[in-house]
Amino acid sequence: MASVTREVDPISRIEGHLGVKLTVDDATNMVTEADVHGNLWRGFENFLIGREVNDAITFTQRICGVCPVPHGQTSTFAADNVLGYNDSFQTWVAGGQQLSSADGTSTVDVPDGQGIPAKALHIRNLVLSAEFLMSHITHSYHLAAPSYIQGPNIPPWTPYFDDSFYHPLLRATGKGVAATTNASQPAQAGATLPLDDEGFSVDLWSAVIKQYVKALRIRRLTFEAGALFAGRMPMTSCFVAGGVTTDKDEVLTSKCTMYRSMMEEIGNFIIQEFVPLFLALGALYPEYDNVNNVSSPFGTCEGYGAGCGNFLAWGAFPQTDGTLGSARGYKVGLGAATLPITKDDVYANLKEHIKYSRYAGSVTELDANGAPVVVAADITEPATEMRTIPVRDDVDKYSWIKAPRWDGHPMEVGPMARLFVAGVIQDGVYLRTTVPSYTAYAKTVGGDTGLNPALIGPDLAVACVRSGLATLKFNADLTALGLVGAAQDWTVTNAGTTSYASANINIADITQSTIALAYGLPSAVILGAVAGWVYNLKGGASTIDRLRSRPLESFVLIQKMIGGFTPGTNGLDPITWTGGGWLAALDALGTADTFISKQAAPGGAEGFGASEAPRGALMHMCSIDGAGKILRYQCIVPTTWNASPKDANDVRGPMEAAMASNGGIPYLPTKTVAKGGAGAFIAGGAGGGVEALRVAQSFDPCIACAVH
C-alpha cells in the first residue's frame, strides 16, 4: 500500500497552535494515521511553585483567555481542597449534602468544618454557566461554522475554501443554486451581505449569516450577565478559597433581575435559532454525521470523526441537595454503562504518558540544591510530579501536549462526552426520547408530525422552505387572497403552483404578510425533509454529533439556570420563561454569608479540584506546605485529553482516532466524490485537508490550555 504524508498546520479557527501530520493511502485518499501536535510550551505549573495557593486562582485564569472561568473555578476547588473546604472534586454547601466519595452516586452529609455558604455556591455556578453559553455560541458560530458555511465575499471571511467544499445552499448567495431555481434568489457571483425578500432572508445562506452576526451580540450578553456576579468577564475577580468575594450584605435582587433579562434573550436565541440550525446541519453534511441516522434523502451518513468512543466527565455545578448539575462518570465504549468516579479512582487510574511528548521524564523529588531530579519515564503520575521539564531535541517526540489516560484508555472529554455520561445522548437512541424538552420541538397536526413553528425562528424556517428543505402546512380560509370557499389545508413549498388554484403554494409568490399570517396560525406545522431529519435524529459519535452537542447542552443548561419555558401558541408568539432555577435560589437568599475563613494546616496538604470547562474535564492537582505555599501544581486540561499524542502503548489520542480510526477520513486534494441531496454537488476540489480541519475543530481545541 503506497502512502503519502500530508501536513495540515496550522489548524485554523481554534485557540492556539495545533497541527496534524496525516498518512494518506495514495489509492483511496483515506487517512490511515494521524499525529496531532501542539506547537508550543508555556510552563504555568513551574512558575506557580512557591506562591500562595489563592494566587493560583488568578494565575491559572491566564492560561487561556477563551476559558479562564473554568480554570479559576477549578483552581478554587483545588485551593478549597488543600485548605479543608472539600474532600475532592467540587466544594459543596456547609451543613448540606455532597456526593458520596464511596460510590460517587449517593449523597452523604458534608463533614463538619467543610463546605462554603449556599450564596457562594450559586454565584460560582451562575458565573461558570454564563461562560459555558458564551463558549458554545462562540465556537459554533464564529470558529466552526465557517468550515461549513461560506462567508460573504469580504474580509474577515475571505479567503475561504474552494466552493466545492460547501453545500450549494450554504455558499454565498448566487453561487450554489441557479437563479431560475427560485425567483427570489438573485444571480450574482457571491454576496457580500445577506439578502432579504419581503422581510425574510432570500435563502438559507442569508439566514445563517444573519445568525452569525446576531450571535456576536448574544455572546456579549453572556459576558455582561456573568460579570454581574464575577466582577468582570473574562478573567473573573470573584473566586476565592472558601467562597466568593461578593459582599455578604449585598441583596442581589436587582442583579438577578438583570441577569434573568439577559439570559431570557440568550435562551430565546438558543431555543429558536442555535439548536434548530445545528440540528439541521447534519442533513447537509451527512458524511460527518453518525451512522445511526437515516441517510435518505441527503446522502450516506459515514460517521467521519467518530473518535475513540470512550468518555469522561468530572462533573460540575454542585447543588445544595448534593447532586451535580452536570454528571460525573466515565464509560469505555459507546454502548457501555456509565461508571462512577471516586477520589481513590483518580489516584489509581489517572496517568499522563509522555513517550511522544516533549518532556524529559518524571520529577518527584528535588536534590539538596533544590534542583529537579529527572527520572526517565514514559508514564508520569500528576499527583506526585514536582516539575515539568521540557526537552526539545528528541526526534521520537512530536508534541508539546501530554497524553492523559484513564486506566490505560484514551478518553474524549467535552460536551458530547458529558451528554453521553449523563445519558442525554445514547448510541442509536432517538434524541427526542433522551434530551430533556426535545419533544417541545415536535408538533402533530392531523396526521402530520413535524416541527413546531413556535420554537423555530421564522427567518430560518422561511429560508428552509425557500431552499427546498422544508414545507409549511397550515389550515386557513384564504378568501382575502381571491379564493372562494371554506378553510382548507395549504402547503407552502418552493415548487408549488404560481396561483392559488392548488393547495400547493409557491413561496416565491407570497407576500411577507401572508407568510407571517401562515406562520402565526395554530394549525401551522413545518414538514419536509429537514423536519423529518430533526425529528428522527439518533445519538451517536461523529464530527456533527460534537457540533450539535454544544447547542443541546446549552438548551439543557439554560433551563437549569433560569427555569423552564413554555412555547407560544403559534409561530409568532414569544416564548414564556417560567422562572426558578439556580438564579431564583440565589435571589431567595437575600443577605447571607459568602465566605468562610480557614488557615492552612500546619503540616501542609495535598489534593485536587475538578470541574468541567466548556471543552471538557478539567483538573488541578496541588500540594501546599504549612504556610499555604504551593509545592506542586499540575493541570490536566480538556484539550490535553482530546489532542493528546499516542501513549506508551502507541494508542492514538481521541483526536488522532477521530481522523485515522474506524476507516479514517478522506483527504481530498483533487479526488471528487458525488454527493446526494438537494442540488447534488462535488466534494473535494482544490486544496486538501478540509476534512481534517473540520474534525479537529469539532473538539473545540484550546492549545494554550493543553500546553500550559
Residue pLDDT, tens place only, 660-683: 998 899 887 543 333 333 333 334
Quick one: pLDDT at residue 198?
Answer: 65
Read off the C-alpha cell for 648: 506508551
Single-letter code of the amino acid located at 289: D
What is the percent of the chain with per-residue pLDDT over 90, rounded to a whole number?
A: 70
Quick one: pLDDT at residue 478?
Answer: 72
Cβ atoms within 10 Å, residue 202: 24
Evaluate if residue 187 carries a pLDDT over 70: no
Average pLDDT for residues 383-404, to the nearest whole number?
93
419-468 confidence digits (pLDDT tens): 999 999 999 999 999 999 999 999 999 899 999 999 999 999 999 999 99
248-307 confidence digits (pLDDT tens): 999 999 999 999 999 999 999 999 999 999 999 999 999 999 999 987 678 889 999 999
Single out the residue of 684, 702, 700, 696 nearest to residue 166, CA to CA: 684
Quick one: pLDDT at residue 186?
Answer: 41
Q: Which of 9-13, 29-33, 127-131 has the highest mean pLDDT?
A: 127-131
What is the percent of the chain with per-residue pLDDT over 70, rounded to a whole number?
A: 91
Helix ranges (H only) for 536-653 are: 543-562, 581-587, 638-642
Q: Residue 505: pLDDT band by 50, 70, 90 thresholds?
A: confident
Single-letter code of the amino acid located at 407: D
Quick one: pLDDT at residue 66?
Answer: 84
Q: Cα–chain-centroid distance for residue 698?
A: 8
Mind giving me the DSSP string for 69-111? HHHHHHHHHHHHHHHTS-SSSS--BTTSEEE-TTTSSSEEEPP
Evaluate if residue 146 carries a pLDDT over 70: yes
Alpha-carbon distance of 212 to 172, in angstroms, equals 14
Single out the residue of 152, 187, 186, 180 nearest to residue 166, CA to CA: 152
Asked whether 312 and 411 are in contact (CB, 8 A), the reply is: yes
Least confident of 2-16, 27-41, 149-163, 329-343: 149-163
Quick one: pLDDT at residue 189?
Answer: 45
Evaluate if residue 132 carries a pLDDT over 80: yes
Asked whether 406 and 328 are in contact (CB, 8 A), the reply is: no
Average pLDDT for residues 199-215, to the nearest whole number?
92
Quick one: pLDDT at residue 500?
Answer: 56
Asked whether 63 and 586 are in contact (CB, 8 A), the reply is: no
Asked whether 318 and 121 are in contact (CB, 8 A), the reply is: yes
Alpha-carbon distance of 660 to 34, in angstroms, equals 6
Alpha-carbon distance of 286 to 280, in angstroms, equals 10
Q: Residue 105: pLDDT band by 50, 70, 90 thresholds?
A: confident
Q: Residue 502: pLDDT band by 50, 70, 90 thresholds?
A: low
Helix ranges (H only) for 327-486 are: 343-349, 415-422, 431-434, 458-466
Mean pLDDT of the chain: 90
Give, for 249, the enclosing helix (H) or strand (E): none
Evaluate if residue 583 carries a pLDDT over 60: yes
Three-state SS letters, 123-146: HHHHHHHHHHHHHHHHHHHHHHHH
Evaluate if residue 240 carries a pLDDT over 80: yes
Average pLDDT for residues 196-213, to the nearest whole number?
88
Read off the C-alpha cell for 443: 408538533
Single out the residue of 476, 113, 541 nearest to residue 301, CA to CA: 541
User: pTM (2 decimals)?
Assistant: 0.94
Average pLDDT for residues 584-595, to the nearest whole number?
97
Evaluate if residue 182 carries a pLDDT over 80: no
Average pLDDT for residues 503-523, to the nearest whole number?
82
Alpha-carbon distance of 485 to 560, in angstroms, equals 49
Read off the C-alpha cell for 442: 415536535
Pairing state of beta strands 488-493 and 504-506? parallel
Q: Residue 637: pLDDT band by 50, 70, 90 thresholds?
A: very high
Alpha-carbon distance of 627 to 634, in angstroms, equals 19
CA atoms within 13 A on the CB side of 648: 14
Asked whether 625 and 604 are in contact (CB, 8 A), the reply is: yes
Average pLDDT for residues 612-626, to the nearest whole number?
97
Sign of CA dihedral 224, 226, 228, 234: negative
Q: Residue 160: pLDDT band by 50, 70, 90 thresholds?
A: confident
The radius of gyration of the chain's CA atoms, rounded to the nearest angstrom, is: 26
Evaluate if residue 584 carries a pLDDT over 90: yes
β-pair partners for 488: 476
